[in-house]
Amino acid sequence: MLSKLTFGSFLIYAPRGTSELSNKAKQFVRALKEERLIGVPPQSPSAYAARRLSEERRDGILEELFETNPLLVPVPRSSLTVEGGIWPAYNIASALVGQGIGATVLPCLQRVKAVPKSAFAASRSRPKPLDHYESITAVKMVADREQLCLVDDVLTKGATLVAAASRLQEAYPRAKIVAFALVRTLGFVEDIERIVEPVIGTITIRGDEAVREP
Amino acid sequence: MAVENARVAPNEIVTLDPAQVMGGLNEYEKRHAPEQLFACGDLTLLRAPARVAVVGSRKASLPGRKRVERLVSGLVERGVVIVSGLAAGIDTAAHEETLKRGGRTIAVLGTPLDEVHPASNALLQARLMRSGLVVTQFPIGHPTLRSNFPRRNRTMALLCHASVIVEAGESSGTLSQGWEALRLNRPLFILKSVFENSELTWPEEMRTYGAQVLEDVEQIVDVLPIGLPPLEEVAF
C-alpha cells in the first residue's frame, strides 16, 4: 500500500456546524450525494461545483493536480451501487471533464465488498485503509499514463483515497497518482467562515490509520 | 387483473408536475418519476422540510405494529411528515399512529383518488383528504393493477427524504421502495428486528448496497435536512 498521497480539495464543511454558512455547506453535501438539483434555475450540484472550480482555478492552487490534463478516476462508493444508481464521484469527474478539467473519466476502480460508511461510523469503528484496500479492485483499461487523478466527493481522513490510490498504482505502476476530493470535512471545527477553500495537502499512513494534513 | 375497490369522492383534485413539486428532477429521478401527480388535501405537506416514508408488510405482526408506534411517535415529535401507502398492515398503522399523535401524514396511493384499496381504509382515506394529503400518479379511470403498487412505492421513495422498512417478506412489494431509495442514494433504514429474522435474505443484500440498520430514531433525524436551507438557496 502507498504510504503517502498528495490530494487537493476545493470546498470545506463542518459536520457539527450550526451557523447559516455551515448549514448551507451541509445541505450542499447532501445534495451532492443524492445529485439533488440546487439553485435557481435548478442545476446539478456536481456541474455547479465544477463550474465554480473552473472559475477559481485562476489562482493555481490546484494546478498540481490538473496541469497535465490527467484521466480522472472516480473513487467507488463505500457500498455497492444499484444498477442505474447514483455514483457521486463519477458525476463530479464527468462534470470536471465538462469544464475542461481532466481529459476523460476512467472508471477503472470497483468496490467488490461493501464497507461501513465513514460518515455514519464512530471514529474508532471507521474502516481503515486496509479494509478499503481489500474491498476495491482495479482494472487496467488504458495504457500506462504520466499522471492519474482520483476523484471523490467528500474526504474525511483519507483512508478510502489512499487505498484506492494503492490499487490504481498497482494497475498503472508508472503513473503518478494524485487525488482530488471536492469537499473535505473539518471534523473539529464548530463553524466555517467560507465554503470555497482550495488546498493541497497530503494523506499519510501512520500505523494502520490514514492521517490527513491539512 | 384489475381489483374491485371501494369509492370515495375527493373534494378537489389538483394536478401537479413532479418536477415542480421536487424543485427539478435529476436524470436518475426522471427515470421512474410519474408524468403527473393528482393530489387532494394539504399541498404544503409536499414542501415540508422532512418527509419520511414508513412502510412494510400488509400482514403486519403485533410486534411490527408496536414498532411503528414507537417510530412514528419519535418522528412526529420532531415535526417529521410521515408518508405511507395506505395499504393494510404497517402502512395503515403508520397513518393512524401519526393522526393519533397529532402529526401530519401523506398517503401515496396505488389507485386513482376516487378509489380505495383496501376497501377497509375508505374512512381513513377520506380523513386524510381532509386533514392530511392523498397523492397518486394514477388518473381517475385507471385500472387497479398489481403493477400499480411497486410503481407507487418508487414514487413514494422519490417524494421522501428517507424511507424506513418496518417489516417485509422476501416477495413484499415494499422492497421495490427500498431498491428505489438506494438507486436514488436516499437514506434507507431497515429495522434491526428485520435483520434478526434468519429466513430473510433481502435485508443483508440491501445493506451491502447502502441500507442502514435502524436502532434509534435519531439515526433518521440525523440525515434529514431539518434546519437546513432549501435546495434553491444552496448555491455559493
pLDDT tens for chain A, 214 residues long, are 999 999 999 999 999 999 999 999 999 999 999 999 999 999 999 999 999 999 987 668 898 999 999 999 999 999 999 999 999 999 999 999 999 999 999 999 999 999 987 655 666 678 999 999 999 999 988 888 889 999 999 999 999 999 999 999 999 999 999 999 999 999 888 899 999 999 999 999 999 999 999 9
Closest-CA residue of B relative to A44 is B26
Q: What pLDDT score does A58 carry?
A: 67
Q: Looking at the predicted structure, is the pLDDT value of residue B107 above 90?
A: yes
Q: What pLDDT score does A57 carry?
A: 76
Q: Between chains, do B208 and A34 touch, taking CB under 8 Å as contact?
A: no
Q: What pLDDT score does B47 carry?
A: 94
pLDDT, averaged across chain B: 95
Cβ B183 vs Cβ A85: under 8 Å: yes
Q: Looking at the predicted structure, is the pLDDT value of residue B198 above 80?
A: yes
Q: What pLDDT score does B2 carry?
A: 60
Q: What pLDDT score does A141 carry?
A: 87
Q: Measured between CB atoms, does B185 come within 8 Å of chain A?
A: yes
Q: Between chains, do B232 and A120 touch, taking CB under 8 Å as contact?
A: no
pLDDT band at B169 (very low <50, low <70, confident <90, very high): very high
Cβ A160 vs Cβ A152: under 8 Å: yes
**A5 bridge partner residues:** A203
- Rounded to 5°, angle at Cα A141 from A178 and A106: 50
Q: Between chains, do B210 and A41 touch, taking CB under 8 Å as contact?
A: no
Average pLDDT, stretch B48-68?
A: 96
Which among A85, A120, A196 is the nearest to B182, CB-wise?
A85
Pairing of β A209-213 and β B162-165: unpaired
Q: What percent of chain B has pLDDT over 70?
A: 98
Residue A207: exposure state from Cβ atoms within 10 A (0-12, 13-18, ≥19)? exposed
- CA neighbor of A62 nearest in space, from A182, A206, A189: A182
pTM over 0.80: yes
Q: What pLDDT score does A144 carry?
A: 82
Query: What CA–CA distance (Å, rounded) separates A33 from B184?
Result: 9
Closest-CA residue of A relative to B161 is A34
For residue B26, the chain A residues in CB contact (below 8 A) are 35-37, 44
DSSP letter string over A18-84?
-SHHHHHHHHHHHHHHHT--BTTTTB-HHHHHHHHHHHHGGG-TTHHHHTT-PEEEEPPPSS---TT
Closest-CA residue of B relative to A78 is B210
Q: What pLDDT score does B10 carry?
A: 80
Amino acid at A119: A
Q: Looking at the predicted structure, is the pLDDT value of residue B199 above 60?
A: yes
The residue ranges of DSSP E strands in A75-175, in sequence order, are: 109-111, 136-138, 147-155
**Stretch among A194-198, B8-12, B61-65 having the lowest mean pLDDT:** B8-12
The residue ranges of DSSP E strands in B28-161, in sequence order, are: 37-41, 51-55, 81-84, 105-109, 115-116, 133-136
Q: Between chains, do B229 and A20 touch, taking CB under 8 Å as contact?
A: yes
Mutant choice from A34, A56, A87 vs B, greatest count of B C-beta within 10 A: A34
Which among A23, A40, A85 is the nearest to B228, CB-wise?
A23
Distance from CA of B209 to the nearest CA of A (A): 5
